Structure 1
Amino acid sequence: MEDVKTMLILEKLLTKGYDSDQAKDEKHLHEVLRTTDNPHLFMLICVALGKAGDIFSVPVLMALAEETSFKSDVAKEAIKALQSRVEKDSIAIMKDFFVPAYWKTLWIGPIEKFISYVACIAAFIYPETMLEGEAMNRLGELLTKEITIDFSPYQSFHELRLCSPNWDVQEDLMMILNDFESDLTLEGAIKTTSVRMNEDSQVADNIINM
Structure 2
Amino acid sequence: MKAYQQQIIREMREGRLSGSELEEKESVLLQELRCAADEKEIRELCSAIAVSGSILSVPCLFALMQNWGDGLKPLFENIIKGIAQRAKGRGSRLPSDYYTLQHWQPQWQGSKTRFLSYVSAIADIVVKNEDNDEEVKRIGNILVKEMQVDISPYNNFQDFKICIHDWDFEEDYKLVLDRMEQERLVEEIEDAGLRESWNTFFADHLLNLKYDYLVTRLGIADKFEYHQFVLKMAECLNISE
Q: TM-score range by the shorter chain?
A: 0.7 to 0.9
1:118–1:136 Cα contact (<8 Å) kept: yes
CA drift of 1:30 comes to: 0.6
Query: Which of the pair has the greater relative contact order for Cα pairs under 8 Å at 6+ separation?
Result: 2
2:61–2:80 Cα contact (<8 Å) kept: yes
What amino acid sits opposite 2:112 in the alignment? I
Q: Deviations over 1:124-165 (max 9, x none)?
A: 4384356x7x87555422331333334468776444763564
Structure 2 CA distance for partners of 1:76 and 1:193, relative to 1, 3 Å: same
Consecutive unaligned residues of structure 2, counting only runs of 5 or more, are 214-241
Tell me the TM-score normalized by structure 2: 0.68
What amino acid sits opposite 1:175 in the alignment? L
Between the two proteins, the alignment pairs up a number of residues equal to 205
Name the structure 2 match of 1:128. 130
Name the structure 2 match of 1:181. 181
Name the structure 2 match of 1:106. 107
Structure 2 CA distance for partners of 1:82 and 1:93, relative to 1, 3 Å: closer
Residue 144 (str. 1) matches residue 119 (str. 2): no
SS at match of 1:84: helix
Residue 204 (str. 1) matches residue 203 (str. 2): no
CA drift of 1:113 comes to: 1.0
Consecutive unaligned residues of structure 1, counting only runs of 5 or more, are none
Name the structure 2 match of 1:191. 191
CA distance in 1, matches of 2:155, 2:38: 40
Give the RMSD, CA atoms, in angstroms. Answer: 3.3
Name the structure 2 match of 1:44. 44
CA distance in 2, matches of 1:11, 1:140: 39
What amino acid sits opposite 1:96 in the alignment? D
Structure 2 CA distance for partners of 1:35 and 1:23, relative to 1, 3 Å: same
Name the structure 1 match of 2:18. 19
Runs of 4+ in structure 1 off by over 6 angstroms are 152-155
Structure number with the higher helix fraction is: 2
Query: Matched residues, percent identical?
Result: 23
